[in-house]
Amino acid sequence: MSTTFTIDTATSRANPTPAPMKRLTVPAIRARKGTIGGGKGGDPLVMLTAYTVRNAQLFDPHCDMLLVGDSLGQVIYGLPSTVPVTLDMMAAHGAAVVRGSYHAVVIIDMPFGSYEASPEKAFESAAFLLKQTGAAGVKLEGGVAMAPTVRFLSERGIPVMGHVGLTPQAVNTLGGYGARGRTAAEAEKIVADGVAIAEAGAFALVIEGVVEPIAIALTQKVACPTIGIGASAECDGQVLVAEDMLGLFERTARFVKKYDDLGGRISAAAATYAAEVRARTFPGAEQIYAPKD
């Protein structure tokens, strides 16, 4: 029987233990196209970002897909944008997420500069990521211009998730992270970009930061599932950066809903720990090793 490895959380060490392979597949994700776009429907797809083994373990039972996003550049490394992120960064975190999951389809972002030059360059980068991590597919940003690359990868056995609308890797060209599609010309371009990527063979399409009618129109036009982030509840699924959703950052985009205040709770726990250390009440009798009688 095929196995993957999860981490034994009963100890502080990463001891892998075999678990039955029950992972969803890319075709299963593609088949979840909702009725709004002419599909068979079903529950909307759930996706969160994950960058570590432990987060993968916690999110995996609840998600259909885990995205190892290049947002790790900002979330994990404190970089000003996703532009400086490297293939090696993505490979290291992607491997950790695959090790920490067994149910969700794991998708890895192709970082800026790793795929734009040519389809051949994109294949080299994507093959490296899949070999290093065991992930199921890659995600790349861009529209009509990237359609030949999506087709090239798809025809050579690499599943591709597209990404249109607000594309963070193009922040320098876009001039910021504001919502896209507020003019008729831009709205028309976003829809054309999404259709081109879908027709090139993408198995799913992220639509980010657009005015809602664009997301609905694009969801209706493409045969693959759409995954919204700052788009519409009418998309075939949703994704958020997990740390935003968990409330680890004070400042988040308009489209983020905070489901917890982990930032506040972690800070409070650290403050309590610090106070107990300074008062010499930690460690207590329960945390020290007494000599044997």
* Enzyme catalytic residues: 208
Burial 218-244, CB ≥16 within 10 A → b, else e: bbebbebbbbbbbbbebbbbbbbbbbb
Report the residue count for the chain.
293
Helices (H) and strands (E) in the chain, counts: 11, 10
- Integer Cα distance of 78 and 55 in angstroms: 18
Tokens 């998600």 map to which residue? Answer: 63
DSSP3 helix / strand / coil % (the chain, rounded to 5): 40, 15, 45
- Integer Cα distance of 281 and 276 in angstroms: 5
For the CA atoms of 225, 228, 234, 236, the dihedral, rounded to the nearest 10 degrees, stands at 20
Q: Which residues contact 176 (CB under 8 A, 6 or more apart)?
A: none
Contact 201, 26 (CB under 8 A): no
